[in-house]
């Protein structure tokens, strides 16, 4: 299941980065393009982080469920970056807010790891 997940995420990453580049270069900013940008950025980042997370989980994690854990961790990392981007768009991002958000997502991952 790991090789299929990695190949699928690479294809999705390439497609979503191309779509994101098209959106940035050929559309004007507006009320509809911000959510589309955030969604495309989330998909692109998540798909980009899956092979990296899979590699680190394969080499450093103790056991089991490498694909599920890699997808979850890449989703949390992508969520953090997209939320920081959105907060920056509305000019509300600061270091304490970013660190608090990172702490909440880190505690979520710790909770999910200890449940199994």
Q: What is the pLDDT along the chain (116 residues), one digit of tens a residue?
A: 578 888 999 999 999 999 999 999 999 988 899 999 999 999 999 999 999 999 888 888 776 667 788 899 999 999 999 999 999 999 999 999 999 999 999 999 999 888 86
Secondary structure of residue 100 in the 3-state scheme: helix
pTM: 0.91
Q: Which two tokens stand for residue 60?
A: 């450093």
Q: How many domains does the chain have?
A: 1
Secondary structure of residue 32 in the 3-state scheme: coil
Tally Cβ neighbours within 10 Å of residue 37: 19
Q: Which domain holds residue 7?
A: 2-115
Contact 44, 82 (CB under 8 A): no
pLDDT for residue 61: 75
SS3 content of the chain, % helix, strand, coil (to 5): 85, 0, 15
pLDDT for residue 69: 87
pLDDT for residue 1: 52
Q: What is Dmax (Cα atoms) for the chain?
A: 47
């Amino acid at each position: 299941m790991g090789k299929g997940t990695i190949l699928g995420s690479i294809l999705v990453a390439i497609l979503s980065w191309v779509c994101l580049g098209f959106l940035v270069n050929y559309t004007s900013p507006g009320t509809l393009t911000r959510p589309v940008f955030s969604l495309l950025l989330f998909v692109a980042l998540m798909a980009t982080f899956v092979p990296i997370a899979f590699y680190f989980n394969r080499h450093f994690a103790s056991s089991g469920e490498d694909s599920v854990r890699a997808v979850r961790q890449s989703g949390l990392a992508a969520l953090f970056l997209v939320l920081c981007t959105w907060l920056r768009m509305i000019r509300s991002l600061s270091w304490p807010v970013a660190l608090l958000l990172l702490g909440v997502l880190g505690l979520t991952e710790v909770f999910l790891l200890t449940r199994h």
